[in-house]
Structure 1
Amino acid sequence: MRLSTRYAAMCMALALPIHAAAATAQTAAAFSPGDPRHARLYALERQAVALFDSDDYALSMSQKTRDAWARLHAAALKMKVAGRPHPLAGVALINLSSMDQIDGKNPDALARVNEGLSLLAPFADAYPVAWMQGLSIKGYVQAALGDVTGAADILAQASGYMDGYIARTPADKLDPSTHMLRSNIAFSHAQALTRLGRNDEAVDAQKASMDARITAAGPNSPDTIGSYYSYAQMLQRADRDGEAEKYARMAVDIATDHVDRKHPSYARALEALGLLLSRTGRRNESLDYLQRAIAIKRDTVGTGSLYFQFGLQNLGTVLLPLERYADAELLFMEAERGFRAIEGDNSPQSARALAFAASAALAEGRRDQGVERFNAALARVRAGSDEDRDIGQRVYPYLIPALIAAGQDEEARAAAAAFAAETRQLDNAPAIPLAQAAMLSAWTGPDRAALGGTARQLVGLLRDDASVHDDAELTEAQRAALDAILAVAGQTQDAALALDAMAILAGSRIAQANRLVAQRLVADPALAARVRSLQDRTKTLQAADSRLLKALATDSGVAAARTERAKVAATVDAERAAIARDYPRWVEAHGGERPDLGALRAGLSADEALLAVMPAFDGVYLLAIGPDGTRIERAPMDRAALVALVGRLRSSLTPAGFDQDSAHTLYSQIFTPAILAALGQARTLRIVPTGAFASLPFGMLAQRPIAAVTPRTAWLIRRFAIEVQPGFTVTKDRRERMAARDQFLGIGAPLTFAAVQTIDAPRGGARALSQLPPLPGSQAELRAVAHRFGMDRTTLLIGRDASEAALRDRDLSRYGVILFATHGLVSGEMEGVTEPALLLSPPAADAVGDDGLLTASEVAAMRIAADWVILSACNTVAGDNAAAPAYSGLAQAFRYAGAGSLLVSHWPVRDDASAFVTLETVKGAARGLPRAVALQRAMLRLIGSKRPNAAQPYIWAPFILMGR
């Protein structure tokens, strides 16, 4: 018999988890699989195999094929061998179970494969390949239904059996289907191992699967392409991102060159590369590959397959970290309907898609709908399988806080008890869900004495988890956990706990913005080795945390687990402190600094206060630290509504007006009476905003409703001098005069990419850059500032001279003030822009190493002595995106390079206004004013001036002072 490769191809395409149960094979004596007395059975077998192996996918999976296998099964049952049904009865059922599994009918597949293996067991050595195929299918299906540990064990046995079979069988007796089955078993084994967190073993198993697939089908086969991208996925899970990208791109390249786009592997290769790119911070590239994959699937195989539904779900999960919840929700609901249509009303995959859609509804502020969907997802899985606890791990961390917020205390308590019980029963339960279960149990229980301790334990685990991932991006599940921690901090007024949670949110944004800066620093082999060692030790600590939490949950072995955890934690803390001492710039760029509440307060001057504005998951949290105390609150409106308000205010701004109601509503939501009381009489306010709030011009928030804009309107800038900073590091204002400060360098008004004629049409990132509009006012602005400085102290790089080459050839340490008047680009918002950057003129045709972008990592390598760096018209592309990290990357890069303060504008403004604010701020600071106060006075002076429309926020509000 020649085994079908259909199961193999679909197994790779779906990339689902696996599970198996053990079986004992006993060979019936004196049986020959070629006995001529059974010729009719062999003819029926050949008919079924021919249909199942057809190149016509619809035919191979048709009822006609099922009928052929059923005829073989019925005939073989009647034909007795040593008193038992002929083993081809079992072979037929195993192939029918393969069809069930491909169709997503996992319970049917499990029932058939169990019966088939039972019939085949006495003859396993006579049909070794069919026997192993059955074990592989059983393992696959059982893992899909939740028994991962058993799957790993049985698939390891199947792999060993297959290795022995291949070793003792002459090479000329092994056909490609045997090697294909070897590949399938190893693939299933790898999937089970990775679900158990045994990623290094999973890499080895997947490598064996790939090698067997190459032997079976050749290096350019569509089936082999699946092995390349599956191997890439395993490498990434083992934190081997560079190798992973190599194999993912290899899969796409081979698919493009050798595979018909109708083949499932073509789209799946695009999808796999897209997912890998998304997990390493390259969102724009990621979405392009994923959307192309879905379009190809829709055109080639249609929407009636699991293959298509997983594509929808994958794209949705990439949109979640971008906070594009509405877009993701549509995809999840389409996938939910598709999974249900294929797998039935109790489909576990439809339940998972529904749970994803529920989390999106919560994030969009629709709590009742989210709760309803979560409960429906739980009910759906429980009706289908009592053993599938994965859905509970997905649902409960969202559902329980939502029930608490809705006042449904009894329901929340019952859900918390179920979550804790199910988590305790998981094999190798990770530390984070164990800690979440403990915190939620304390939160809903009658005795809340343990609540603070469990919340601090969870925030520590989340911080450790973020530190072992180079992409530094938080999933929506992690943000939801931080949201719950912040809610607890608000209830208990635990400012230190709130600060810890907010530092993780802010640190993630900083690390994303500085990803390539940090990579450049880690190019130092000594630092790279220490960082990897720290990450490895942190993983060991996570495992120790998991064992301690499991011991606490089961009240067994607590003392030993606590001792072990303390020993590992001491090692990690010592290594982390040593790296922070020796490489402080890397720690800062990686967003890894953990602020101390006492030290932060001590760093504030007598008239200073700090306010953090942090969107978490469905809420926006406020932390005020002032001379009169601290206050942690959740803003009255939910996150989605407040983000929409920020967008409305930003989009409404024109030289003639703006949305006045939004300006006051945002003020009242952020500056609540309790927050204002904590800020006290401070005159300078340091604001730490993330997400959409990083694009909010706080100075223009209106303290009272606005009837008409006048020079006396009660803007927030009248109450506070404001400095914005990406994180919680507080440094004292530097006021000393620098020796080089009288020299001014202006760079801007670059040539546009569209205006430069090249031999080849722009491609990729160059094409995207060519769409950026010119900045006609930037040259006038530069000349206006230069005029005020004096031309004898000014250097201007304008037009073609505003290039990377011109900057590289210049001694930048000579200048005290440097002004960039050009576009500022945010990482991931445009093709080819992988980190924050300033747009310069396109490079000359023969330029080496120039691309027209001055990136954050390139800035960090410069040597700058400027007291001021000014970025004018910087945020004109995408800074108002909810996920954009605003200026943190560029700001810190200029700090690393040696600059003093950074003055930036949210949008391009009139030349005279920009020049006025720039010069007045620099001159005020030179006279000894604190820098934030110097900017405040410059803005107020502009508001009160006779310049046209000067009182309108569009003219004066975009300027912000950036701190660390």
Structure 2
Amino acid sequence: MTHHFAAARAGLKLAAAMLATSVIVGPVLAQDVAEAAAPPPADASLSERIQHWADADREGDPAATLAALMALQAEVETDTAAVSARQRGELLAMIGTTHYALQQLDEAATWFDRAAEVYAEDGSAPETVAEMAINRAVLMRRANRLAEAEEAARLALSIRQGLYDQPHEEVASALGMLGNVLYSSGRYEESLDLMRLALDEQRAAGPDDALEIIKRLDSLASLLNETGRDTEAVRVAREAEALARANLGRDHAWYGYVLNTLGQALLDLTLYGEAIPVIRETLDVRRAQLGDEHPYTAASQMVLAVALEETGRLQEASVLSGAATAILERHRDLMDPNTLAGFLRRRARLAASLGEWDLYAQRIADAQPVLEDMLDPRSPALANFHIEHAYQLYRRGEAEQARALAERWVPIVVERLIPANNDRIFGEMLLARLRQRDGDAAAGGDALWQALDPVAAELVGKLSDVRAADRDIARQASANSPAMLLYLETALAAGDEDRAFGALQILTLSELALTQRRATDERSGEASDAFALHRRLVDTNRRLRLVERRIALGLSEDQVEEAAEALDAQRDRLDREAEELLARLVAHHPDFIARIRPQPVSLERLRLSLEEGEVVIIPVETKSGSWVTQVDSGGMTWSAVDGESLRANVAALREAVAPASELDAFPADAAHALFGQLFPQGVSGYDRVYLYGGQSLASLPLAILLTGQAGDDLASAPWLVREAASQVIGNLAVFAEGRGQSRPLGSDVSTFAGIGGAELPGVSGGEVRLAGLFRSGRPAADSIADLPPLLTADAELLALADALPGDDVLLVGSDAAEENFKRADLSKARVIAFATHGLVAGELRNLWEPALLLGTRGKDSGEDGLLGASEIAQLKLDADWVILSACNTASGADGGAPVYSGLATAFAQAGARSLMLSHWRVRDDAAAVLSVDTVRGAAQGLSRAEALRQAQLALMARTDIPDAAHPAIWAPFVILEN
């Protein structure tokens, strides 16, 4: 974390603005002309001259200022009676701040100590003594003398707590200072507690002081993000941004800080759709405040380029990356060489991804001399740059040159990096594939797998790490997808279906898959102790990684030995705790570990679990290649597909069903072409189709595909839904193991819970409303008011209740308010249905996560009316089926995240066994028909997927519902079930 410092009039508040943020702040750039402050009048008294310097701008030429202040101090020492103790202390403090401006930290500390002694003599200024202690804490923290920094910060806090009976902003400042010191010491939990207290104190002391509250919020959000509490970090950063926008305006420096903190928190959650506009605004603010050529403006450009690349906007990402890297190259003195090497790799890779090979060659040629000048010839960073170049040449078909590079540089990463290092794994996979492609006898047959299997095992081991959180493992899988893609290609070229199938599962690993495995196990109630131990292990491991990162990034030649020793001791303690917890899990709960971190399911196991008429479709979509694999009871077949064409077909179909589309037109050619890509052999003999994985493909229901040519009559078109029922699989292992275990709906349904029909502000004039923006950073009420009312939601929920036996819990209209829902007992509900708006992150202004609109009865309810994904995940459900008869509920966390990663994952985490979700905004009348008819069919013994299929066929044949034959009306829902 970087910190901001501000010196007050007499240097007494050196660290008043020292709050943790994630913004990049470096040394102040020198001005063309440094102007010293004007000297005081020659005939001024000592007292007047001290006051003159207190009022002067001392920052223009600190060296000249220091000389003048030291001369004045010499005079004061010869005639101390001529000035008051307070003025003597003020002069000493000014000398301290000037030493600090000159980066003379030890000298600054000495003068602050002298100032504190003089103020203490005065006896009437304990607050000033506290300010000196704060200044000392700042200096000692900067010098990594953390024990001294903590002592000074605690002294300041003690003085201020004794001075003020009521909440006070100076107490808030001292709490924040101590929190920063403890953060630097690696004591993250204590630091967080103090940061929360500082915010509460500031709110109570100065509820109208927006700037100070913003600083406290930004500090807390940054620390939350640093410690892995990313969801809460976004919530707090949202509040800081909203308050800064309303009270400071975009020209204020702190608005740039809070924007940067918010953008980083959103990126860490992979909420690209929300992060990108925030980062864009951060970039605009930095350009206005620092200029286009400033290195920190360039850093924001690079962050934006990364986010754009992740969401497929390669052209803009390439332009931004190229411009930013050029600026950063001109400021090499501020850049870590390894970081610059990474930027140069990314800049070249973007050109390759766009197929702009001339530009790619130019960027490679420009980067090589820069890196060779900055890096050791056997540096892993330099080797990785050349290995990345070899990979791009391989993709382009220049395998001979690619292999020559790989043979030279891969041995360096093998020698210098540990086997589990991602870059080493990638390099070894690439070299093996290039050797296989050239037909090397030594790289074929058993020799090939003797070389590659240990490398793959390293990766599988990382993805089976019981110490890591599900989200971290999913991110690790994504980061290693290029390496596993090479392994897949190697296996397919060797005709090794088992290894290829294992690679497919790693390439398609998602947080949802991990969540479904965990939720399946946790519901059993047999492993509560194991889950408790595992949660402690994950938390301890998270804290250990933070300390290790602190050690890696924080140690430098000027760091004193005691700081390094303190961090080393904390790392050792956390490492021992993690090992002890892991040993207890291994000794007492080995089956639990095997279940939550299973190895990929074997092809044979999946094949034997399938019945005649069933087929599993597994698409793999990457920037480097796309494949579609089919598995049925007879075995596995696969085919390469043109990824660009596949994504274009998906985009055409998505556009055709968008809310603003013309329903009299439908791209039948795209629907038929996409069917051919997914089912090159057709679907003859299949009546049940399961979809696992996919990126763009996961944004469409398979039912919408056309198995043949379609005429103008959509009602009679050969939709796939006529041939087969389809559903989504979240986890292949759970699917293979759980066949035949799901309970059909029937007379044993104990409770149906229906929630929905919230009245929208400005639409119906009802009581249900949304809380204001300030409290949680959620959408403003005026944007919610633009949503269409759900006129048939009440009737839909009543019809669902009538379709199922057993008791009912109905929360309709104002009774569906969020506070009511959270108080309701849903522990016995086997079927839960929501008939309300499902909101996608970024769909409405300031909506940062997927949510269900429930509303709230009033501003004092403590709720904001939106049941977000993070809140859903905390629910404790035992539901066989959750039906989201709402809009956009199958969408991911945002436009760049995997589909099903939002509400679907949240409900799986809460305990839902299966889900019925929508891929786009559903018209109210169609949603009611589809949900009710699907539930009725399932209650009569049909599988959920078959019940939905029949409901869709019935709806498209109806003439009393406008446009019912158009897929936008009948096709939005999917079943996600294991």
Fold conserved (TM > 0.5)? yes
Residues 608-757 of structure 1 aligned to structure 2 (within 5 Å): 608-638=614-644, 641-653=645-657, 654-673=662-681, 681-728=685-732, 729-730=734-735, 731-732=738-739, 734-739=742-747, 741=749, 745-753=753-761, 755=763
1:357 deviates by: 3.2
In structure 2, the residue matched to 1:804 is: 818
Matched, 1:823 2:823: no
1:14 deviates by: 9.4
2:816 is paired with a residue of what secondary structure?
Answer: coil
CA distance in 1 between counterparts of 2:346 and 2:674 reads 30
Residues 484-523 of structure 1 aligned to structure 2 (within 5 Å): 484-510=486-512
Deviates more, 1:617-626 or 1:437-446: 617-626
CA distance in 1 between counterparts of 2:315 and 2:529 reads 37
User: 1:283, 1:828 within 8 Å by CA — same for their partners in 2?
Assistant: no
1:936 aligns with one of 938, 946, 949? 949
1:888 deviates by: 5.0
1:841 deviates by: 2.2
1:650 deviates by: 0.9
Q: Deviations over 1:398-421 (max 9, x none)?
A: 443332232211111022123314
User: 1:804, 1:854 within 8 Å by CA — same for their partners in 2?
Assistant: no
Which letter maps to 2:31?
Y
User: 1:280, 1:470 within 8 Å by CA — same for their partners in 2?
Assistant: no
User: 1:950, 1:956 within 8 Å by CA — same for their partners in 2?
Assistant: yes
In the alignment, structure 2 segments of 5+ residues that lack a partner are: 8-14, 36-62, 64-99, 117-131, 146-180, 192-201, 203-210, 550-577
In structure 2, the residue matched to 1:406 is: 396
Residues 380-399 of structure 1 aligned to structure 2 (within 5 Å): 380-382=369-371, 384-385=373-374, 387=376, 389=379, 391-392=381-382, 395-396=385-386, 398-399=388-389
Which letter maps to 1:335?
A
1:339 is paired with a residue of what secondary structure?
Answer: helix
Deviates more, 1:225-234 or 1:815-824: 225-234
User: 2:314, 2:350 within 8 Å by CA — same for their partners in 1?
Assistant: yes
Change (3 A) 1:799 1:892: same
In structure 2, the residue matched to 1:419 is: 409
Change (3 A) 1:486 1:201: farther
1:668 deviates by: 2.3
Which letter maps to 1:403?
L
In structure 2, the residue matched to 1:59 is: 33
Percent identical among aligned pairs is: 26
In structure 1, the residue matched to 2:268 is: 279
In structure 2, the residue matched to 1:463 is: 463
Which letter maps to 2:834?
F
1:951 deviates by: 3.1
In structure 1, the residue matched to 2:327 is: 338
CA distance in 1 between counterparts of 2:873 and 2:607 reads 31
2:619 is paired with a residue of what secondary structure?
Answer: strand
Which letter maps to 2:453?
G
Which letter maps to 2:643?
M
Matched, 1:604 2:606: no
TM-score w.r.t. the length of structure 1 is: 0.65
Deviates more, 1:165-174 or 1:293-302: 165-174
User: 1:354, 1:377 within 8 Å by CA — same for their partners in 2?
Assistant: no
CA distance in 2 between counterparts of 1:490 and 1:894 reads 36
1:621 is paired with a residue of what secondary structure?
Answer: strand
In structure 2, the residue matched to 1:847 is: 861
Report how many residues are paired: 771
CA distance in 2 between counterparts of 1:824 and 1:957 reads 17
1:299 deviates by: 0.8
1:440 deviates by: 1.3
Q: Deviations over 1:601-626 (max 9, x none)?
A: 34333432211223334333323221
Which letter maps to 1:303?
D
Q: Deviations over 1:552-592 (max 9, x none)?
A: xxxxxxxxxxxxxxxx999979947966855999x4xxx98
Which letter maps to 2:605?
A
User: 1:442, 1:450 within 8 Å by CA — same for their partners in 2?
Assistant: yes
In structure 2, the residue matched to 1:480 is: 482
Matched, 1:783 2:776: no
CA RMSD of aligned residues (A): 5.9
CA distance in 2 between counterparts of 1:932 and 1:246 reads 37
1:824 deviates by: 1.6
Which letter maps to 2:349?
S
1:297 deviates by: 1.6
Change (3 A) 1:626 1:878: closer
Q: Deviations over 1:443-477 (max 9, x none)?
A: 11222442542552353255258973674363775
TM-score w.r.t. the length of structure 2 is: 0.64
Q: Deviations over 1:641-678 (max 9, x none)?
A: 533432221112253232222212222222234xx6xx
Change (3 A) 1:870 1:442: same
In structure 2, the residue matched to 1:194 is: none
CA distance in 1 between counterparts of 2:801 and 2:243 reads 59
User: 1:516, 1:857 within 8 Å by CA — same for their partners in 2?
Assistant: no
In structure 1, the residue matched to 2:433 is: 443
CA distance in 2 between counterparts of 1:712 and 1:262 reads 60
CA distance in 2 between counterparts of 1:393 and 1:712 reads 59
Q: Deviations over 1:300-335 (max 9, x none)?
A: 221122121112112323444445444433321221
1:903 aligns with one of 906, 916, 920? 916
Change (3 A) 1:696 1:458: farther
Which letter maps to 1:778?
L
CA distance in 1 between counterparts of 2:300 and 2:374 reads 25
Q: Deviations over 1:486-510 (max 9, x none)?
A: 3334434444444444444544342
Change (3 A) 1:655 1:906: same
1:530 aligns with one of 533, 537, 551? 537
Q: Deviations over 1:271-297 (max 9, x none)?
A: 356324532456567556544432222
1:307 aligns with one of 296, 302, 306? 296
1:240 deviates by: 8.4
Change (3 A) 1:457 1:327: farther
CA distance in 2 between counterparts of 1:517 and 1:370 reads 48
In structure 2, the residue matched to 1:197 is: none
User: 1:354, 1:373 within 8 Å by CA — same for their partners in 2?
Assistant: no
Change (3 A) 1:358 1:753: farther
User: 2:271, 2:894 within 8 Å by CA — same for their partners in 1?
Assistant: no
Matched, 1:434 2:419: no
User: 2:250, 2:256 within 8 Å by CA — same for their partners in 1?
Assistant: yes
2:475 is paired with a residue of what secondary structure?
Answer: coil
CA distance in 2 between counterparts of 1:435 and 1:172 reads 57
Change (3 A) 1:540 1:468: farther
CA distance in 2 between counterparts of 1:255 and 1:658 reads 46
Change (3 A) 1:408 1:467: farther
In structure 2, the residue matched to 1:72 is: none
Which letter maps to 1:608?
E
User: 2:464, 2:598 within 8 Å by CA — same for their partners in 1?
Assistant: no
CA distance in 1 between counterparts of 2:23 and 2:811 reads 55
User: 2:221, 2:237 within 8 Å by CA — same for their partners in 1?
Assistant: yes
User: 1:498, 1:632 within 8 Å by CA — same for their partners in 2?
Assistant: no
In structure 1, the residue matched to 2:852 is: 838
Which letter maps to 1:853?
L
Q: Deviations over 1:106-154 (max 9, x none)?
A: xxxxxxxxxxxxxxxxxxxxxxxxxx999x9xxxxxxxxxxxxxxxxxx
Matched, 1:372 2:361: yes
CA distance in 2 between counterparts of 1:13 and 1:537 reads 20
Change (3 A) 1:806 1:403: same
CA distance in 2 between counterparts of 1:256 and 1:770 reads 17
Change (3 A) 1:737 1:702: closer
In structure 2, the residue matched to 1:890 is: 903
